[in-house]
Amino acid sequence: MPGISFAGIKPGETFTYEFPITQSGTYWFHSHSGFQEPDGAYGAIVIDPEGREPFRYDRDYVVQLTDKHPHSGDRIMRNLKIMPDYYNREQQTVGDFFSEASENGLMATIKDRMAWGDMRMMKADVEDLQGFTGLINGKGPDQNWTGIFEPGERIRLRFINSSAMTYFDIRIPGLEMTVVQADGNNVQPVTVDEFRIGVAETYDVIVRPKEEQAYTIFAESMGRSGYARGTLAPEAGMVAAVPELREAARLTMADMGGMEGMDHSSMAGMEGMKGMDHSKMAGMDQSDMKGMEGMDHSKMAGMDQSDMNGMEGMDHSAMGQGAMASAGGASDPFYAAGSGLVPTAANGGKFLSYSDLRAQKPLYDEREPTREIELKLTGNMERYTWSINGVKYEDADPIRLQYGERVRFKFVNTTMMTHPMHLHGMWSMLDVGAGQLNPVKHTISVQPGTTVYMETEVDEPGQWAFHCHLSYHAAAGMFRKVIVEGGPDSTQAASGDQLGDVGGDV
């Protein structure tokens, strides 16, 4: 990371990375300078284990997804700052108004529109960036990347989401997928019909096509505005039907993170605090908030929503999957109750949830965290500014950790957007209520209006980046520097302070 862990690579220079291989699995790399990553500077990394895998497969393919846009990253950022909904092609129309009025009643529809208008939000604002072409391994839908198989073979597909801004819902009509790895770490196998992959995440799945026919790999954007498409086939040139895009998702008030009824006209990233006067708080520094160190979270399944969405007083501590139902009847404990974003499988079958993930075996000792740090994910859509604890990166103090401690991070998403939070250099255990079998990940998606916990083993000294992996959110300020003090090379943390900050150069 230029400006944090090293000075960067200047034009014409060569830099050789050397590091010990202490892990295996599916990963990827990309530039962190400007918008070089969304403009195409990325690639896949596959590290084979020393021994045998705990699952069988006959051949494997990397399936690297991205959202190639005709506009450059710099141009996209300029447009978003001028008009945040510049790329939103799913905005509601007069026809939508009359359809809703016919279904829900005129007054209810008017009241709903007024509520959204008061918040200066749009229920169609699921994706900041539309108008892209979905690519699989650099090929668009018409170019149709194809992986060859023999009927009866077990095929390992290494899905990597290297998009700038797009979450994809993955399915292969006619085939079940068995998830065996998440973010490069083995998980206990879980068979699904569809799964959602956040930006920067990786999932490895096993499929076993038994018929001599083609199957479509269909990666549909979460906002239903585009897709990537590939094919598995016994021979080149074979194709299968490509599904139609499903109806676009719509946010609900549950996805607003408790923002109903607030005056957003003068806010600068302080959403989520009901009843407070924010008119004079634009510069408030909350970067040192540590949260609630003394709380007992032992029974939580990763999600504390007891103070959100008008649900005060409810006990969520024992909620399992299915406890929170969306307006459409689907449920997932990692989405807000009544969220319009809760995913469902196209065939009515099993859709993967974070709550399904269990580590294949414990990777860390079980011990209590030394402290808890609360990170509120904040932003202002009107100004297209994104922040943590109401403070943008260039104005924030670093997060300082001590080598050897275990820190519990509490993410509170007060915004209406999904944020894939990514910590460089160290693994984090996503709290799904499984103790030592909590899955170990490098990127964790935090849905609108939810609270998610992860524990990080602080075992790498030096300076590290911690940011939302939506490229334009990170560039707009949802970013922190983490300094790990102490350890076998404590000079690394101190020397990194001399590099300075680089603001949006992420």
Question: Is 462 inside any structural domain?
Answer: yes
Average pLDDT over residues 140-151: 98
322 closest CA partner among 359, 350, 346: 350
183 closest CA partner among 4, 443, 397: 443
pLDDT bin (cut points 50, 70, 90) of residue 263 is very low
User: Greatest CA separation found in the chain?
Assistant: 67
114/124 Cα distance (integer angstroms): 15
Structure tokens that stand for 458 in this block = 């602080």
Question: Is 475 inside any structural domain?
Answer: yes
Per-residue model confidence (pLDDT) at position 106: 74
The residue with greater pLDDT, 254 or 136, is: 136
Per-residue model confidence (pLDDT) at position 254: 75
Beta bridge partners of 457: 406
C-beta atoms surrounding 202 within 10 Å: 28
Question: Is 245 inside any structural domain?
Answer: no
What does DSSP say about strands 406-413 and 371-380: parallel, antiparallel, or unpaired? parallel
Question: Is 442 inside any structural domain?
Answer: yes
395/472 Cα distance (integer angstroms): 18
- 240 has a pLDDT exceeding 80: yes
pLDDT bin (cut points 50, 70, 90) of residue 250 is confident
- 304 has a pLDDT exceeding 80: no
Query: Which range has the worst mean pLDDT, 85-89, 132-136, 166-170?
Result: 85-89
pLDDT tens-digit series, residues 25-78: 999 999 999 999 999 999 999 999 999 999 999 999 999 999 999 999 999 999
Query: Which range has the worst mean pLDDT, 198-202, 217-221, 230-234, 298-302?
Result: 298-302
- Note whether 465 and 506 are within 8 A (CB): yes
pLDDT tens-digit series, residues 211-239: 999 999 999 999 999 999 999 999 999 99
299/501 Cα distance (integer angstroms): 39
Give all strands of the β-sheet with 406-413 in edge-to-edge order: 385-388, 371-380, 406-413, 451-457, 428-430, 440-441
Average pLDDT over residues 100-105: 75
- Note whether 156 and 24 are within 8 A (CB): no
What is the domain range of residue 491? 371-499
pLDDT bin (cut points 50, 70, 90) of residue 120 is low
Per-residue model confidence (pLDDT) at position 104: 75
The residue with greater pLDDT, 468 or 315, is: 468
Name the domain count of the chain: 1
CATH number at residue 407: 2.60.40.420
Per-residue model confidence (pLDDT) at position 502: 37
Query: Which range has the worst mean pLDDT, 110-114, 240-244, 397-401?
Result: 110-114
The residue with greater pLDDT, 266 or 55, is: 55
- 192 has a pLDDT exceeding 80: yes
Per-residue model confidence (pLDDT) at position 91: 66
Q: Which residue has the tokens 């969520």?
A: 316
- 321 has a pLDDT exceeding 50: no
As a whole-number percent, the residues of the chain with pLDDT over 90 amount to: 64
Per-residue model confidence (pLDDT) at position 85: 84
- 17 has a pLDDT exceeding 90: no
pLDDT tens-digit series, residues 272-289: 333 334 333 333 343 343
- Note whether 505 and 2 are within 8 A (CB): yes
Structure tokens that stand for 502 in this block = 């680089």
Question: Is 223 inside any structural domain?
Answer: no
- Note whether 466 and 214 are within 8 A (CB): no
As a whole-number percent, the residues of the chain with pLDDT over 70 amount to: 76
Alpha helices in 69-227 (DSSP H): 73-82, 94-104, 106-119
Average pLDDT over residues 153-171: 98
Question: Is 404 inside any structural domain?
Answer: yes
Amino acid at 361: K
3-class DSSP state for residue 496?
A: helix
Per-residue model confidence (pLDDT) at position 256: 74
Phi-psi domain of 181 (left: phi exceeds 0; alpha: psi -120 through 50; beta: other): beta
Per-residue model confidence (pLDDT) at position 117: 60
